[in-house]
């Protein structure tokens, strides 16, 4: 997972597949079919497009327009890269990833700079007769 600021160069919204069939899903909550919108975005500095599935009609991503800059959470899903607005958990995971990378880097530097620690000699036990 990554969190990036992206400048939108293109925003396409699809309510149906290539054959014209509307995108729908069956809700586990109420058992009804609901429509969803697939949002495909191209952005500055990348040749790949990223996608988002908007299940709610009031999803703020549906209002995005080219030329705007947005912070997104990117997730690899097979051959595709999906995006969403970062959640609090996304920010937390991102910060933990950065801390883990910094820790590994620091421990490599420390161990590379220090000579190996001398072996401790064990004192012979004194026995009283």
Task: Compute mean pLDDT per 10 residues along the chain, 129 residues long, and list them.
Answer: 88 91 88 88 86 90 92 89 92 92 85 66 56
pLDDT on residue 92: 94
List the chain domain ranges.
2-86
pLDDT on residue 110: 76
pLDDT on residue 63: 92
- Confidence (pTM): 0.66
- Pick 2-86's CATH classification: 3.30.1490, 1.10.3470, 2.40.50, 3.30.70: 2.40.50
From residue 107, alpha-carbon distances to 22, 97, 114, 115, 123 in Å are 53, 15, 11, 14, 31
């Amino acid at each position: 997972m990554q969190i990036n600021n992206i400048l939108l160069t293109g925003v396409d919204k699809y309510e149906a597949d290539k054959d014209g069939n509307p995108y729908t899903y069956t809700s586990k909550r109420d058992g009804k079919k609901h429509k969803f919108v697939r949002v495909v975005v191209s952005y500055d500095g990348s040749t790949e497009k990223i996608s988002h599935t908007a299940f709610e009609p009031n999803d703020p991503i549906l209002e995005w327009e080219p030329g705007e800059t947005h912070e997104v959470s990117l997730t690899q899903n097979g051959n595709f890269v999906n995006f969403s607005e970062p959640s609090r958990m996304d920010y937390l995971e991102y910060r933990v990833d950065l801390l883990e990378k910094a820790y590994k880097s620091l421990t490599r530097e420390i161990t590379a700079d220090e000579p190996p620690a001398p072996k401790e000699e064990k004192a012979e036990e004194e026995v009283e007769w």
